[in-house]
Amino acid sequence: MGLNDQWMQRDLKVLWHPCTQMKDHEKLPLIPIKRGEGVWLEDFEGKRYLDAVSSWWVNVFGHANPRINQRIKDQVDQLEHVILAGFSHQPVIELSERLVAMTPEGLTRCFYADNGSSCIEVALKMSFHYWLNRGKPDKKRFVTLTNSYHGETMAAMAVGDVPLFTETYKALLMDTIKVPSPDCYHRPEGVSWEEHTRTMFAVMEQTLAEHHDSVAAVIIEPLIQGAGGMRMYDPIYLKLLREACDRYGVHLIHDEIAVGFGRTGTMFACEQAGIRPDFLCLSKALTGGYLPLAACITTDDVYDAFYDDYPTLRAFLHSHSYTGNPLACAAALATLDIFEQDNVIENNKALAQRMKTATAHLVDHPNVAEVRQTGMAIAIEMVQEKASKTPYPWQERRGLKVFEHALTRGALLRPLGSVVYFLPPYVITPEQIDFLADVATEGIDIATRSSVTVAVRENFHPDFRDPG
């Protein structure tokens, strides 16, 4: 038995892995990773895998980045953690100052959580509580987009709409108002992204006109709906939504947990519409993929609604044990240093163009309905019939075949159902992008050539998909 097998067997005796049907590992080998360097992950037998998905979209500057490593090492000798209620520390203060300075003007207050889902919970609770403190207790509902994903804690699931994650627990979830997504995948032929996005906004406008008295906030993933299949839309939606939220007196929550920090081509997706949300939720790439940390950044108006004498009980009594952890803040500060010093956003433009060029041939593939891109995110949607965009039954798990092939070629490509995507670290080279495109093409050819027979239940749900 090789070293990988030894570690795999030890793992399977004691671990329950996330987003995984563990029975899959009776046939699908689990890959234990010993070390990482740059875009590469290396197993215990020396085989390397190019991390095309940034280890669940978090690692932007490569594994074992020496600059982030050193910042954490320096910090651990000074202070590993301190309660953030009644105490503070240098890294969290400096990080907050920098986040306020780099986010849209008017976002002035940072509240920290431990992960993306927790950050969404903070924003939802703050918005509801704001309206309660302002004497409007009826404003307690949330508007969200179909096909959206905001995390896996209860309130975060409630404002999401990917059935694979939410359907099992719907009896436990609060009621929300769902508005059709502006996703441009199903736009009519000949219609531009902007035109389709504008058309789709009409339902949001009508919804806010009818329900604004009971709505606390609208929450969206700006520009890219990640777990919903990397579906994308035009920035005009953000502009129109900001104007409507202002008009109807409703908060706007931007979930930039997956798309913030350069993924869409600008530091933050909201910049592409020139707008400022009332709550900006950040996580994932915030620490360069090193440690759990999230920031919910909001306005003085929201902060002031909670600022009062203690007996009024208007304070925001929400906390996490590791809120604002100094080690995580140190990693985040090092990450922001790299953004500032290495001209990352500008350099990414050339990498994004290379991703577009390297995958352009797949537009003509008989089983590819669309190759879509926003910044450093590109998605290739496999279908069984191109003209009608008829999807493969999710039970056939076509994306899994791409994943399995990619592993044999030394690449970590974890598709979302039948959507193959690249969200690579920003330190990837043009040649490595070409390699990923070759591997993806081979995998798509294998996956779409294969004949798969599965039993499709009567309650077949076409929107189910494997999680990425």
Condensed to tens digits (0 to 9), the pLDDT of residues 400-433 reads 999 999 999 999 999 999 999 999 999 999 999 9
286 contacts: CB under 8 Å, gap ≥ 6: 260, 261, 293, 294, 295, 332, 335
E strand map for 40-155: 40-43, 48-51, 107-113, 141-145
**Residue 55 burial (C-beta neighbours within 10 Å; 0-12, 13-18, 19+):** middle
**CATH of range 67-342; options 3.90.480.20, 3.40.640.10, 3.30.390.50, 3.10.20.30:** 3.40.640.10
Q: Is 57 annotated as a binding residue?
A: no
Q: Is 421 annotated as a binding residue?
A: no
Backbone angles phi, psi at 43, to 5 degrees: -85, -175
Decide if 146 contacts 222 (C-beta within 8 A).
no
Helix then strand count (H, E) for the chain reads 14, 16
Q: Is 89 annotated as a binding residue?
A: no
**Prediction pTM value:** 0.96
Q: Is 96 annotated as a binding residue?
A: no
Provide the residue ranges of all domains of the chain, joining segments of one domain with +: 31-64+344-448, 67-342
Q: Mean pLDDT throughout 243-254?
A: 98
Condensed to tens digits (0 to 9), the pLDDT of residues 32-57 reads 999 999 999 999 999 999 999 999 99
Q: What is the pLDDT of residue 359?
A: 98
Q: Is 321 annotated as a binding residue?
A: yes
Q: Is 51 annotated as a binding residue?
A: no
Q: Is 56 annotated as a binding residue?
A: yes
How far, in whole angstroms, is CA 393 from its chain's centroid?
Answer: 25
How far, in whole angstroms, is CA 208 from its chain's centroid?
Answer: 26
Q: Mean pLDDT throughout 356-364?
A: 98
159 contacts: CB under 8 Å, gap ≥ 6: 120, 124, 142, 144, 148, 150, 176, 219
Q: Is 25 annotated as a binding residue?
A: no
Q: Is 438 annotated as a binding residue?
A: no
Q: What is the pLDDT of residue 79?
A: 98
Q: How many residues does the chain have?
A: 468
Q: Count of CB atoms within 10 A of residue 254's CB?
A: 30
Q: Count of CB atoms within 10 A of residue 91's CB?
A: 22
Decide if 261 contacts 238 (C-beta within 8 A).
no
> CA-to-CA distance for 136 and 224, rounded, in angstroms?
32
CATH architecture of the domain with range 31-64+344-448: Alpha-Beta Complex (3.90)
